[in-house]
Amino acid sequence: MQTMPPALEVNDLTVAYRDKPVLWDIDLQVPTGVLMAVVGPNGAGKTTLIKSVMGLMQPAAGSVQVFGEPAGRQQVRRIGYVPQRTSVDWDFPTSVRDVVAMGRYNRGGLWRRTDRRDAERVARALATVDMEDLADRQISELSGGQQQRVFLARALVQDADLYLMDEPFQGVDAVTEQSMVAVLRRLQEQGRTVLAVHHDLRTAPAYFDWVALLNVRLIASGPMATVFSECNLRGTFGGSAPEWANPPATTAA
Amino acid sequence: MSSLEFEILVTAMTVSAACAVPGAYLVLRQMSMVADAISHTVLLGIVLAFLVVPLYGHPLMVFGASMMGVVTVLGIDLLKRTGLVREDAAIGITFPALFSLGVLLISLLARDAHLDEHMVFQGDLVYSVFQRLELAGHGYGPMTLWKMAGIFLLNGVLALRFHRELKVATFDPVLAATLGISPSLVHFGLVLMTSVTAVGAFDSVGSILVIGFMVVPPVTARLLTDSLARYLGLSVLLGCVSSLGGFWIARTVNGSVGGSISLVMGAMFVAVLLASPRRGLIADWRRRRRQRVEFAVRMLVIHLFQHRALGQRTEENHAGHLEAHLGWSAEFSRRITELAEARGLIRRVDAHWLGLTSVGERQAEQALAG
């Protein structure tokens, strides 16, 4: 049997803003079917990594492969993206249901109508993130946590194989966070791969089974149990900070 | 109304409708000022295209002139990308230079053409109707009307066909990219649509008034609805209604048709800004006043609840002392007390002292419990 290619393979990826490196020579493998957290301090290049995978940044060097193929227009369609919620204009005149339906905009015929199958998928995704009551709500009226759940629902209807999430739990209350983690687990059970920027070092080991520690360069990556160590965290966040001395019972700055 | 007047009216409505389509998306994408730049620099495009294809209003000439709009936006984007000039300044640098070059070329080369400076600034709807479309000896009405009807149809079909692309590339360009929709293609598609419309509308409304035609109806529509489809439809409708009103004013005072329409658009915006049922300033002011009263009632109930242990007749519970304790005016105290009483939240122990009813106590407990 042929071995399955990793969901994501990044080789020698360097991204720079002029002469200031944002990512230095990253080699990262994300096996298919894992939940991987990307952890690192502010300015570590976490968002840049995600944007590079999607081809939104021009790397100075290196390559990105998605499911064994060079990342390009075709492969990017297998990616579901959950942006930081501050990245869009929430005053846009549209409803929750409509934003989720955008996840299926690459389907549909000449006049691009949303058919009944799409509508059912959207309704189901909204139910999955406990937002069905707010389906017809104006998006400007949502709280931060609700905005984040709308983005998660939108990613679900994309039927992607690889999900890239930029701080999916930002501004989400504890109860919602738990139900979102349950959604991630379900994605994993369906054989999908999740790569998520995550800030809370306390919850990272509980929510994710793999981790990449990033601070401009890749400090370490692999299964949570072996990689999420005091030594590696010191290497990522700087050894001088005493609050990193005792992971995973520490908090992110 | 004479048939000529009727033609002017229909032409004005068609121009408004055609402008509202790209305008609605420009407003959503915060590109109103880009419309300003485009509507000016297409003059240079028109002059250059006119030198190559000396047929004013010919589709080839319209398309050629429109490329200047694309060039303008490319120039603005390039300037912005240097990181040395911000977008608003980049617009301010780019378009006056190109516009002035256009004006200069007109006075040098096209002295005899009907492109004079009055036309450049505000066009002339009445004059534009005198250009007739004639085919094989038959007259088919004003050329501008046909041209703008064609552009409106084109804009409408494109907006319907690409409504998803326009929507998602505007709301979330990154998602658009993952769906295989190129945000920059959508961007320049919209720029080209804006340019073609500005060139087409040039002889009827010129380069200054056309910005109003593109921007004001959508901004007004946005205050009236939160649905994208209704917003687009309403933008077109408000443009047409303004044309009707503006035409009537121009006819009454014997003034500029385009100018009167712009004026009506401005007046309509101000009226909606004040009176829009949900987003208007009056509704907002009323909502705030209501919230202030509601909050005051709750505050009174909680105030009485917190001091109930002191007995019924302390200074805190004295109807006349609310001013001192809650910082209210005598008039406001009386209003809030009467309202709370009418709602059965408080009762008068006697002429001067206030107490809570059981309903009021329950409400205070709930409020304090969070």
CA atoms within 13 A on the CB side of A175: 2
- Neighbouring CB atoms inside 10 A of B320's CB total 12
- CA–CA separation, B115 and B133 (whole Å): 19
Say whether B28 and A92 touch across the interface (CB within 8 A): yes
For residues A196 and A151, is the Cβ–Cβ distance under 8 A?
no
- CA–CA separation, A79 and A45 (whole Å): 19
Q: How many residues does chain A have?
A: 253
AA letter at B185: L
According to DSSP, the β-strands at A193-197 and A35-39 are parallel
Task: Calculate how close chain A gets to B192, using CA atoms only, in Å.
Answer: 21
Which residue on chain B is closest to A82 by alpha carbon?
Answer: B175
- CA–CA separation, B213 and B44 (whole Å): 21
For residues A216 and A24, is the Cβ–Cβ distance under 8 A?
yes
- Burial code (b: 16+ CB inside 10 Å, e: under 16) for A31-43 equals bbbbbbbbbbbee
- Neighbouring CB atoms inside 10 A of B275's CB total 12
- Residue partners of A151: CB distance under 8 A and separation at least 6: A82, A83, A85, A168
The whole model's pTM is what? 0.84
Q: Return the DSSP state at A132.
A: G
Cα-atom radius of gyration of chain B, to the nearest Å? 30
Say whether B168 and A103 touch across the interface (CB within 8 A): no
pLDDT confidence of residue A195:
95
Say whether A92 and B171 touch across the interface (CB within 8 A): yes
Q: Which residues of chain A have pLDDT under 50?
A: 1, 240-242, 244-246, 248-253
CA atoms within 13 A on the CB side of B182: 9
- CA–CA separation, A10 and A71 (whole Å): 10
Of B161, B172, B225, the CB nearest to A93: B225
Task: Calculate how close chain B gets to A177, using CA atoms only, in Å.
Answer: 22
Tokens of B367: 């409020």
Nearest CA among B4, B38, B76, B75 for reference residue B201: B38
Q: What does the longest C-alpha to C-alpha distance in chain B come to?
A: 100
- CA–CA separation, B340 and B333 (whole Å): 11
Nearest CA among B6, B36, B1 for reference residue B216: B36
Residues of A in contact with B160 (CB under 8 A): 111
Q: Return the DSSP state at A25.
A: E
Residue for token pair 């552009």: B151
Task: Work out how many CB contacts closer than 8 A connect A with B.
Answer: 74
CB burial of residue B292 (10 Å; 0-12, 13-18, 19+):
exposed
| DSSP per residue, B187-204 | HHHHHHHHHHHHHHTHHH
Residue for token pair 């959604």: A183
Tokens of B265: 């658009």
- CA–CA separation, B56 and B64 (whole Å): 12
AA letter at A153: A
For residues B12 and B239, is the Cβ–Cβ distance under 8 A?
no
AA letter at B288: R
Say whether B175 and A108 touch across the interface (CB within 8 A): no
For testing contact with chain A, the best of B29, B166, B174, B278 (most A CBs within 10 A): B174
Say whether A88 and B171 touch across the interface (CB within 8 A): yes
Residue for token pair 């319907």: B160
Residue for token pair 């032409």: B11
Tokens of B245: 């009103």
Of A54, A102, A158, the CB nearest to B168: A102
For residues B45 and B33, is the Cβ–Cβ distance under 8 A?
no
Residue for token pair 């059965």: B344
pLDDT confidence of residue A163:
94
AA letter at B259: G
Of B164, B170, B226, the CB nearest to A105: B164
According to DSSP, the β-strands at B138-142 and B132-135 are antiparallel
Residues of B in contact with A75 (CB under 8 A): none
Residues of B in contact with A111 (CB under 8 A): 160-161
Which residue on chain A is closest to B175 by alpha carbon?
Answer: A81
Nearest CA among A225, A184, A85 for reference residue A142: A85
Cα-atom radius of gyration of chain A, to the nearest Å? 18
SS3 assignment, position B281: helix
pLDDT confidence of residue A234:
86
- CA–CA separation, B213 and B90 (whole Å): 23
Instruction: Show the DSSP H helices in chain B as ranges.
Output: 3-28, 32-52, 59-81, 87-109, 117-122, 125-129, 143-161, 163-171, 173-178, 183-200, 202-205, 209-222, 228-253, 257-275, 281-306, 322-326, 330-342, 358-369
According to DSSP, the β-strands at A210-215 and A35-39 are parallel
- CA–CA separation, A161 and B245 (whole Å): 56
Nearest CA among B330, B340, B332 for reference residue B304: B340
pLDDT confidence of residue B141:
79
Task: Calculate how close chain B gets to A99, using CA atoms only, in Å.
Answer: 9
Tokens of A39: 């952890």
Task: Calculate how close chain A gets to B206, using CA atoms only, in Å.
Answer: 31
pLDDT along chain B (370 residues), means of 10: 87 95 96 92 88 77 90 93 90 92 82 63 72 74 88 95 93 87 92 94 85 95 94 96 95 89 95 90 92 90 77 66 79 88 84 82 82
Q: Return the DSSP state at B52.
A: H
pLDDT confidence of residue B311:
57
